[in-house]
């Protein structure tokens, strides 16, 4: 039986999706274009951008590389030791 994540987790997923969408649009890419560059399925990208799924670490790495942005910037992590 799948468990329902807490509200704050859902909110963080939506924030991540919005960051990815913003970077994708800034790069003038469609979801299909980003899917081709990153090799992440377009439907998966759609669910990630909507905040409807927990993206796999590997998919996030591929998306960051395809967008030409540091992984930490994409996922919204502050640098360590800062």
Q: 34-50: per-residue pLDDT in tens?
A: 999 999 999 999 999 99
Give a yes or no: residue 63 inside a domain. yes
Q: Is 4 helix (H, G, I), strand (E, B) or coil?
A: coil
Q: Is residue 5 part of a domain?
A: no
Residues 6+ apart with CB under 8 A from 16: 48, 51, 55, 74, 75, 76
Q: Is residue 61 part of a domain?
A: yes
Number of structural domains (the chain) is 1
pTM score of the predicted model: 0.89
Give residue 31's domain range: 16-71
pLDDT tens-digit map of 3-62: 888 999 999 999 999 999 999 999 999 999 999 999 999 999 999 999 999 999 999 999
48/66 Cα distance (integer angstroms): 15
Residue 14, Cβ density class (10 Å: 0-12 exposed, 13-18 middle, ≥19 buried): middle
Is residue 51 domain-resident? yes
Is position 32 within any domain?
A: yes
CATH no. for residue 33?
1.10.260.40
């Amino acid at each position: 039986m799948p468990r329902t994540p807490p509200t704050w987790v859902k909110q963080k997923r939506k924030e991540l999706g919005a960051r990815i969408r913003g970077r994708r649009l800034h790069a003038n890419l469609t979801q299909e274009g980003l899917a081709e560059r990153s090799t992440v399925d377009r439907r998966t990208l759609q669910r990630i951008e909507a905040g409807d799924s927990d993206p796999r670490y590997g998919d996030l790495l591929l998306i960051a590389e395809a967008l030409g942005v540091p992984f930490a910037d994409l996922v919204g992590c502050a640098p360590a030791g800062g």
